[in-house]
Amino acid sequence: GAVVSQHPSRVICKSGTSVKIECRSLDFQATTMFWYRQFPKQSLMLMATSNEGSKATYEQGVEKDKFLINHASLTLSTLTVTSAHPEDSSFYICSAARTDQPQHFGDGTRLSIL
């Protein structure tokens, strides 16, 4: 099946640090990538949708200046959490999809801000 790689798997850093998370589709070209966030004991919440070469579309309530998304190629999207604070601690998950195909998910990045 399709493989989506997410890196790093875990990050622990100090408050005020910016953190970059990479999402790669390893064996297919993804026309669209998605970024989700999951708090403990809750379901996944979509943060933004990104298409290669265009600006990401953010869901309501998600700050675009805090969560910077770059989708530079058909196989790579990055999420940068700028000036992270403890309330940004969460499980961040990306997915990749091509037209008319199911989304395939990475294994997530657990972000802990001290």
Partner 1 sequence: DAKTTQPPSMDCAEGRAANLPCNHSTISGNEYVYWYRQIHSQGPQYIIHGLKNNETNEMASLIITEDRKSSTLILPHATLRDTAVYYCIPQNEKLTFGTGTRLTIIP
Contact footprint for partner 1 (CB under 8 A)? 1, 4, 6, 34, 36, 43-46, 49, 91, 93, 95, 102-108, 110
- Quick one: 93 or 113, whose CB is closer to partner 1? 93
Task: Output the smallest distance, CB 51 to partner 1, in A.
Answer: 11
- Quick one: 8 or 102, whose CB is closer to partner 1? 102
- Quick one: 13 or 46, whose CB is closer to partner 1? 46
Task: Output the smallest distance, CB 102 to partner 1, in A.
Answer: 5
Task: Output the smallest distance, CB 83 to partner 1, in A.
Answer: 26
CA distance 80 to 18: 7
